C-alpha cells in the first residue's frame, strides 16, 4: 500500500460524541439496519474525476488543489499509477468499497486513438491490481465525451458523424474497461448532448442520433457479455444551454420513444435534480415509479447558485429523504451512492479529501438510521395509507379498475353529497420528520 496520506489513519467509528476528526461519528459499516449492514445499504463510491483529477479550478480561477503525489512526475504512465495508488489508499482508509471513473480520468487522451487505448489499458491493468489487493470494486465506468474540443458540438449529437464515430469508439472501449474491472454498471451522462441555440439545431435528428448511440451501446454490452446495468443521467443544462436529458421524466419520455425503456435505468444526481427545479426526492420517486431508479450521485447544490456546485452532501435531512426512497425500493441492485462531489475551491489541502468524504458518509449514515427509524415508527406510512383509504371503497375501485365511466360518475356525483375532505396536515408531517434527525 502506498503512503500518500501519511498522517491519515484508517477511519474508525467512534460514536456521535467523538471529537476526533479522523473518526466516523455515525457510519458503522457492519451495523445492521433492517437486517442488512450499513455498508450494503449505502454502497458508497468515490469518483476518480473529482477526488483525483479535479484541481479545483473554476471559470475565474486556476487550480488550487495541492496534490503532492503528482509532484515532480511527468511520465504519463507514472502519473496514471501514482494517482490510482493514492486513490485506493484513500478509499481503503475511508472504508469506501466502490469507485467510479471516466476513461479520460484514469488515463489521458493520447495523440492517436491507438495511444489512448494503450494508456487506458495500462490504467485498467493497474487498477485491477489495486482492486484485487483492496477488495474495492467498480460501481460504474463511463466515457468522457465532453472535454475534448472535438465534442464542442456534441458527441452522439454532433453535427459530424465522424465525431459520433469517435464517441462510439470511446464508449466501446470504456465499456470493455468497465467490464474488465467487474463494474456493476455503465453510465451515460450527455454533457454536450444538447444545444447552445435552437437557431442552428435539428433537435429531432440529434435526439435520434442520441438514441442510436444508446441502442448501439446496449447491443455492444450484449455482444461482449457485459451484464452490469446501463444508466443515463439526467441534467437540465450546463455545459450546454439545454441538455436533452433534462430530468428524470424527460429521460423516461426519451427511453420510451426509442424502445429503450427496459434496458436503461437512471442515475439520479441531487444537484442535477435541483437545477431542473425539482427536489431530489421527486426525481427519485419519478424514477422509482417507472422501475427505473438505478443509482445515485450523492452530492448537493447551493440553494442560491444557478450552476452545478457538486458539494459534498453534508445534510442528514437530505440523506434521510434519499435513503427513504432507496429503502422503499428494497435497496440498490447494481447501484450505489457515488459521491459525485468536489471539495470547495478553498478546501485545497489533501486532508480535505478525507474530511469531505467523512462528512458525506456520516450524513448518509445518519440519514439511513433516520429513514429506518421513520419506517419502524410507521407514522408516515399509516398517514399516507389512511389518506388514500377512500380509493379502496367500491367507488374508488370502480375508477381504478376502469369499470366506471364519466357518465356513471356523473350520475354518482349528481346524487352524492358534497365530498368531505380532511386536512393534509403538512406542518405536522414536516415537524415529525425532524424528530428522526
Residue 242 is a catalytic residue: no
> If binding is defined by CB under 8 A, does position 250 make contact with a second copy?
yes
> If binding is defined by CB under 8 A, does position 376 make contact with a second copy?
no
Cell representation of residue 307? 450552476
> If binding is defined by CB under 8 A, does position 93 make contact with a second copy?
no
Residue 3 is a catalytic residue: no
Query: Interface with a second copy by CB under 8 A: which range of 71-79, 89-97, 225-233, 246-254?
Result: 246-254
Cell representation of residue 125? 491493468
Return the DSSP state at 67.
Answer: -
Of 5, 43, 18, 48, which Cα lies nearest the Cα of 361? 43
> If binding is defined by CB under 8 A, does position 330 make contact with a second copy?
no
Cell representation of residue 118? 494503450
Positions in 269-328 near a second copy (CB under 8 A): 274-279, 281-282, 285-286, 289-290, 302-308, 312, 314-317
Positions in 140-199 near a second copy (CB under 8 A): 146-153, 159-166, 168-169, 171-173, 175, 191-192, 196-199
Give whichever of 22 and 129 is closer to a second copy, judged by the CB atom: 22
Give whichever of 130 and 300 is closer to a second copy, judged by the CB atom: 300
Q: Is the peptide bond before 265 cis (omega within 30 degrees of 0)?
A: no
Give whichever of 74 and 388 is closer to a second copy, judged by the CB atom: 388
> If binding is defined by CB under 8 A, does position 27 make contact with a second copy?
no
Active-site position among 85, 105, 245, 247 = 105
Distance between CA 421 and CA 47 in Å, rounded?
A: 49
Distance between CA 104 and CA 174 in Å, rounded?
A: 9
Distance between CA 353 and CA 345 in Å, rounded?
A: 12
> If binding is defined by CB under 8 A, does position 428 make contact with a second copy?
yes
Question: Is residue 222 within 8 Å of residue 253, measured between CB atoms?
Answer: no
> If binding is defined by CB under 8 A, does position 61 make contact with a second copy?
yes
Instruction: Tell me how many degrees the CA angle 38-44-47 measures, rounded to the nearest 5.
Output: 175
Nearest-10 Cα torsion for 331, 266, 142, 198: -160
> If binding is defined by CB under 8 A, does position 381 make contact with a second copy?
no
Give whichever of 132 and 426 is closer to a second copy, judged by the CB atom: 426
Query: Interface with a second copy by CB under 8 A: which range of 75-83, 122-130, 263-271, 386-394?
Result: 386-394
Distance between CA 156 and CA 210 in Å, rounded?
A: 5
Active-site position among 41, 102, 126, 209 = 102
Give whichever of 32 and 416 is closer to a second copy, judged by the CB atom: 416
> If binding is defined by CB under 8 A, does position 262 make contact with a second copy?
no
Give min distance, CB of 323 to a second copy, in A.
14
**DSSP string covering 316-343:** HHHHHHHHHHHHHTTS-SS--EEE----
Cell representation of residue 55? 484541481
Give whichever of 129 and 348 is closer to a second copy, judged by the CB atom: 348
Which residues does the annotation mark as catalytic?
A: 102, 105
Amino acid at each position: 500500500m502506498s503512503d500518500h496520506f501519511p498522517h491519515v489513519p484508517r477511519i474508525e467509528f467512534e460514536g456521535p460524541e467523538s471529537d476526533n476528526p479522523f473518526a466516523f461519528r455515525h457510519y458503522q459499516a457492519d451495523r445492521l439496519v433492517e437486517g442488512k449492514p450499513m455498508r450494503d445499504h449505502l454502497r458508497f463510491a468515490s469518483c476518480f474525476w473529482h477526488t483525483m483529477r479535479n484541481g479545483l479550478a473554476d471559470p475565474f480561477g486556476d487550480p488550487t488543489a495541492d496534490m503532492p503525489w503528482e509532484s515532480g512526475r511527468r511520465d504519463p504512465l507514472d502519473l496514471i499509477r501514482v494517482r490510482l495508488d493514492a486513490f485506493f489508499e484513500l478509499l481503503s482508509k475511508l472504508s469506501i468499497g466502490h469507485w467510479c471513473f471516466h476513461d479520460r480520468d484514469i488515463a489521458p487522451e493520447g495523440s492517436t486513438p491507438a495511444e489512448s487505448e494503450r494508456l487506458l489499458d495500462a490504467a485498467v491493468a493497474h487498477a485491477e491490481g489495486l482492486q484485487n489487493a483492496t477488495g474495492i470494486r467498480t460501481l460504474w465506468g463511463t466515457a468522457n465525451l465532453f472535454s475534448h474540443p472535438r465534442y464542442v458540438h456534441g458527441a452522439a449529437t454532433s453535427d459530424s458523424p465522424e465525431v459520433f464515430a469517435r464517441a462510439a469508439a470511446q464508449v466501446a472501449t470504456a465499456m470493455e474497461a468497465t467490464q474488465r474491472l467487474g463494474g456493476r454498471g455503465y453510465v451515460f451522462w450527455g454533457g454536450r448532448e444538447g444545444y447552445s441555440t435552437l437557431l442552428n439545431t435539428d433537435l429531432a435528428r440529434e435526439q435520434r442520433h442520441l438514441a442510436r448511440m444508446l441502442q448501439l451501446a446496449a447491443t455492444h454490452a450484449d455482444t461482449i457479455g457485459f451484464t452490469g446495468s446501463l444508466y443515463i443521467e439526467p441534467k437540465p443544462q450546463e455545459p450546454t444551454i439545454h441538455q436533452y436529458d433534462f430530468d428524470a421524466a424527460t429521460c423516461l419520455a426519451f427511453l420510451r420513444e426509442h424502445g429503450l425503456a427496459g434496458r436503461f435505468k437512471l442515475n439520479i444526481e441531487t444537484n442535477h435534480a435541483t437545477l431542473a427545479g425539482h427536489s431530489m426526492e421527486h426525481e427519485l420517486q419519478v424514477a422509482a415509479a417507472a422501475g427505473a431508479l438505478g443509482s445515485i450521485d450523492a452530492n448537493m447544490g447551493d440553494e442560491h447558485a444557478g450552476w452545478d456546485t457538486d458539494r459534498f452532501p453534508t445534510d442528514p435531512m437530505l440523506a434521510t429523504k434519499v435513503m427513504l426512497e432507496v429503502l422503499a425500493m428494497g435497496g440498490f441492485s447494481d447501484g450505489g451512492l457515488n459521491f459525485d462531489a468536489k471539495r470547495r475551491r478553498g478546501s485545497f489541502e489533501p486532508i480535505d479529501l478525507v474530511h469531505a468524504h467523512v462528512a458525506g458518509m456520516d450524513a448518509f449514515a445518519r440519514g439511513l438510521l433516520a429513514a429506518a427509524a421513520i419506517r419502524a415508527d410507521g407514522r408516515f406510512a399509516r398517514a399516507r395509507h389512511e389518506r388514500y383509504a377512500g380509493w379502496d371503497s367500491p367507488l374508488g375501485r370502480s375508477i381504478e379498475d376502469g369499470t366506471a365511466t364519466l357518465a356513471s360518475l356523473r350520475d354518482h356525483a349528481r346524487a352524492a353529497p358534497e365530498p368531505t375532505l380532511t386536512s393534509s396536515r403538512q406542518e405536522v408531517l414536516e415537524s415529525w420528520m425532524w424528530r428522526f434527525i
